[in-house]
Amino acid sequence: MSSNETVAPDQRRRIIVASVIGTTIEFFDFYIYATAAVSIFPLLFFPKGEGTAALLASMATFGVAFVARPIGSILFGHFGDRVGRKATLIGSLLLMGLATFAVGLLPPYHAIGLLAPALLAILRFCQGLGLGGEWSGAALLAAETAAPGKRAQAAMWPQLGAPFGFILANGFFLVLTTVFGFRSGAAQIDDRFLAWGWRIPFLLSIVMVLVGLYARIKLQETPVFVRALERGEKLKSPLIEVVRNNFGELVRGAFIMVATYGLFYLMTTWILSYAIGKVELGLLGIDYRAFLYLQLISVVLFAGFIPVSGYLADRFGRRRFLIAVTSAIVLFGLSFGWFLSRAIMGSGDSANLGLMLVFLCLGMSLMGLTFGPMSALLPELFPTNTRYTGSGIAYNAASILGAALTPFVATWLASSYGPGSVGLYLACLGGSTLAALILSEETRATNLDTMEQDATAAAAIETTSP
């Protein structure tokens, strides 16, 4: 008998709704900062820098959150493995929401000087702590209550929070920049949007947090975690235990996620800066609002391919499916030099927006395929009493390797060697993920209670694999 056959269908539906709402809110909060870090914060919080220097300074504060995320996974993972998934998820949501709200209250550099970017970095660090504890808890809620043979399809629901949050964040900014008539290429510090309009999504995020709290308070603890407590498996220090007994899984899990992180932040944060940057700086000079339309269209494909990936990962197994997808990511990286060359893409008003849309859609489709199975695969690497900590550390350690420096490095590479070098960087990240997948074992048949392989499920993988 499967360990989750006793979970009622209505409970699974409640978990799905709460997971999607919660992760959407968390990622919305995270992404509105990412968007502002490219188009707004260089002007308001780093005015001493000019052009690329101000952008790099803003990108550095963007990367602070990725340093905080593994710390958040350790902090919230400790309580998630000792106290429970539900209570810990409520705490992570509150931290993220309050930090995001506070960003909307910050005075700019010209009002309080260096204290402005310092406070911005601190609040970004708090955002990272919150998101560091969010993902693994949401993934575990879904995975530990999944129906037999459908764990990837159940666990993919929290993953939809990433594209949904991105669409909400960038859609919000699109509406605001349209209403305020803001043009990034001709921005002035006294524009109404820069003076106060940009604060609106940060401040209104507190309303979304209240909705998320309401959804999560009604959840029950997962039966897998309850049974672990009944067996007396609660640990004094889940961190020490997971490092001692599952260090190999931590390393493999982190590198399995590296290409996913690198792809996403190249296709969102870096490409935004490259696309809307000034032509005289060697960038494309595309209008900010026009580019946001293209991004939002491509993110719909990101969301659409997540359910597809969950189904395929359950049918064929996580390892073989992700090896195929990661190989495609490497090939996609090798195409950057052609897609993004100014000689082919054009620049300013003559830029080929159709070609840019094709580029974005290819990248975001691959993103959906690689991101979807991660919320099943990473929890399957660790036993119940260290699963929150282990999966969270692996997921967020990958954020340092694949995302923290990626927009910064990509900005430098593009300005020094052209956009083709950015694609080579992505191909290298993909190569490290391929190596980790090749060295890993299939986890689809893993029983989350016993961590043993279910013979029937394992046989099903062999008969359905290509």
What does the pLDDT look like over 407-448, one tens digit per residue?
A: 889 988 998 899 999 999 999 999 999 999 999 999 999 999
Is the four-CA dihedral 67, 36, 27, 102 of positive or negative sign?
A: positive
What confidence score (pLDDT) does residue 226 get?
87
Nearest of 302, 412, 406 to residue 27 by alpha carbon: 302
What confidence score (pLDDT) does residue 437 get?
97
Both structure tokens of 104: 């909307």
What does the pLDDT look like over 135-144, one tens digit per residue?
A: 888 899 899 9
| Residue 287 domain-assigned (yes or no) | yes
pLDDT at residue 348 tops 50:
yes
Q: How confident is the model at residue 2 (pLDDT cuts 50, 70, 90)?
A: very low
pLDDT at residue 149 tops 80:
yes
| Residue 315 domain-assigned (yes or no) | yes
pLDDT at residue 54 tops 70:
no
| Residue 443 domain-assigned (yes or no) | yes
| Residue 72 domain-assigned (yes or no) | yes
| Residue 3 domain-assigned (yes or no) | no
Q: How confident is the model at residue 465 (pLDDT cuts 50, 70, 90)?
A: very low
Count other Cβ atoms within 10 Å, centred on residue 179. 12
Q: How confident is the model at residue 297 (pLDDT cuts 50, 70, 90)?
A: very high
> Residue 341 and residue 337: Cα distance in Å, rounded?
6
Calculate mean pLDDT across residues 94-113: 88
Please tell me the total count of domains within the chain: 1
Q: How confident is the model at residue 198 (pLDDT cuts 50, 70, 90)?
A: confident
Calculate mean pLDDT across residues 201-229: 86
User: Which of the two residues, 292 and 365, has the higher pLDDT score?
Assistant: 365
pTM of this structure = 0.85
The number of residues making up the chain comes to 466
What does the pLDDT look like over 153-188, one tens digit per residue?
A: 999 999 999 999 989 988 888 888 888 877 655 556
> Residue 226 and residue 222: Cα distance in Å, rounded?
6
> Residue 20 and residue 411: Cα distance in Å, rounded?
32
Q: How confident is the model at residue 383 (pLDDT cuts 50, 70, 90)?
A: very high
Calculate mean pLDDT across residues 27-37: 79
| Residue 87 domain-assigned (yes or no) | yes
| Residue 1 domain-assigned (yes or no) | no
| Residue 137 domain-assigned (yes or no) | yes
Q: How confident is the model at residue 205 (pLDDT cuts 50, 70, 90)?
A: confident
Half-sphere exposure of 332 (CA within 13 A, CB side): 26
What confidence score (pLDDT) does residue 403 get?
82
Phi, psi (deg, nearest 5) at residue 74: -70, -45
User: Which of the two residues, 10 and 332, has the higher pLDDT score?
Assistant: 332
The residue written with tokens 């699963």 in the block is 387
Greatest alpha-carbon span in the chain: 66
- The mean pLDDT value of the chain amounts to 87
CA 365 to chain centre: 15
> Where in the sequence is the domain holding 172, given as residue range(s)?
9-464
> Residue 378 and residue 424: Cα distance in Å, rounded?
27
The CATH number of residue 350's host domain is 1.20.1250.20
CB 137 within 8 A of CB 445: no
What confidence score (pLDDT) does residue 1 get?
38
What confidence score (pLDDT) does residue 433 get?
98
